[in-house]
Amino acid sequence: MKKQRILPVLVLGSIICLTNFYPVTAQEIERQLNIPFNNRRQQTIRDEADLQIRLGAQEARQRNPEKAIPFFLQALELYHEIGDIDAIGQTYEYLAQVYINLGRLKSAEDVLRKRLSVARDRENFLEQVFALNNLGTLLLNTRDFQAADKLFNEAWEIARSLESDEGIGLSLSNLGLLAAYQQDYNQAIKRYQAALTFRRQVPDPLGRANTLNNLGDAYLATHQFNQAIDAYLVAEILAEESLDLRNRYRALIGLAESYNALGLDRVALRRLDELFTLARKNEDLSQQLSALRLSAQIYSTQGNRLEAQRFYQEAIALARLLQDTQLEAILLNELSQVVYNFPYGIPY
């Protein structure tokens, strides 16, 4: 009897960009591939398709999304040939992740709609919950709030009918994200808190950390800084225990911003130093740059002109290394404000 697979969930981790969808992991790949076929010809085709998935996932993990696409498309064709509907749906998920990372949102939307169609055709309601949330999250980031709201609510209703704590928690968390996008932070907080009630019932520390970070962001936006710190601290602990770098980065930035808002500059700077060290260890230049920029802004606010300049200069060097000309221009402007518009005048 063919084993039922629960598909991985693409959950947006930030309310700013789309590149924080969970990446393709080796565990998810192996879970998909470890399903045998009895027919020898089918098994041969399946083996070739599985190889294409592994090769595509390897390129995706090495941050070569463009090179991953042909492998996933070839796998998709082979899975269609043998009629492996489970694998087809899973491969649509991988393609969506790659398209999102490339900024090809229309292509991502197309494959996510196909993924939802597969779940509907199979009448697999739990898969529909995940597919609806994935598609809704993408549309949320294209600011199609009405469509996202409809999808999230449909997912929530299905999850409730299934009594799925995982599905209910995910859907409520995304409904909170929708409220946050619309700057209804009080409603967002209520939905995140409700989501956590269900997310605590399932062994998903990554999902809990994601919702806690979102909750911290909403508290921060409403100037409830102590509550924000509480949420970020738990998120940071969960992320560290589960080796979840994405959520740990978010929590550290949130903690730094919250402590800084309370006037606890030294604590904020320590958190940013922790962020920088962690990002450097993992060769994440973007997060290193974030730590440097936030540190520079804090030093500037303190009136520590020399330290502010030093951190800005290091941040600018990283922006150039990343070839991010837009951010480089912003950083140069911020540095000029420190140098020329500083309350104490131009340094000599």
Handedness of CA 225, 306, 248, 211 (dihedral sign): positive
Spell out, as residue ranges, where the chain has pLDDT lower than 70: 1-38, 342-348
Which residue is it, tokens 């911290």?
216
Q: What is the pLDDT of residue 235?
A: 99
| DSSP state string for 118-179 | HHHHTT-HHHHHHHHHHHHHHHHHTT-HHHHHHHHHHHHHHHHHHT-HHHHHHHHHHHHHHH
Q: Are 271 and 255 in contact, with CB atoms under 8 Å apart? A: yes
Q: What is the pLDDT of residue 119?
A: 96
Q: Are 213 and 247 in contact, with CB atoms under 8 Å apart? A: yes
Q: What does the block give as tokens for 208?
A: 């809990």
Q: What is the pLDDT of residue 345?
A: 41
Q: Which of 142, 130, 60, 132 is nearest to 95 (CA)?
A: 60
Q: Which of 4, 15, 8 is nearest to 192 (CA)?
A: 15
- Amino acid identity for residue 252 in this structure: L
Q: What does the block give as tokens for 347?
A: 């340094």
Q: What is the pLDDT of residue 39?
A: 76
- Amino acid identity for residue 70 in this structure: P
Q: What is the pLDDT of residue 40?
A: 85
d(CA 293, CA 93): 34
Q: What is the pLDDT of residue 63?
A: 85
Q: What is the pLDDT of residue 348?
A: 35
d(CA 167, CA 155): 8
SS3 165: helix
d(CA 257, CA 264): 10
Q: Are 315 and 303 in contact, with CB atoms under 8 Å apart? A: no
Q: Which of 12, 13, 11, 15 is nearest to 184 (CA)?
A: 15
- Amino acid identity for residue 211 in this structure: T
> In Å, how far are 63, 193, 217 from 317, measured between CA atoms?
22, 41, 29
> In Å, how far are 173, 251, 280 from 245, measured between CA atoms?
20, 10, 12
The answer for residues whose C-beta is within 8 angstroms of residue 215's C-beta and 6 or more apart is: 176, 189, 192, 193, 196, 231
d(CA 94, CA 60): 9
Q: Which of 248, 219, 286 is nearest to 294 (CA)?
A: 286
Tell me the angle at which helices 205-221 and 225-241 cross, rounded to the nearest 10 degrees: 160
In this structure, the number of other CB atoms found within 10 A of the CB of residue 241 comes to: 11
d(CA 300, CA 344): 12
Q: Are 65 and 29 in contact, with CB atoms under 8 Å apart? A: no
Cα maximum dimension of the chain = 80
What does the pLDDT look like over 152-163, one tens digit per residue?
Answer: 999 999 999 999
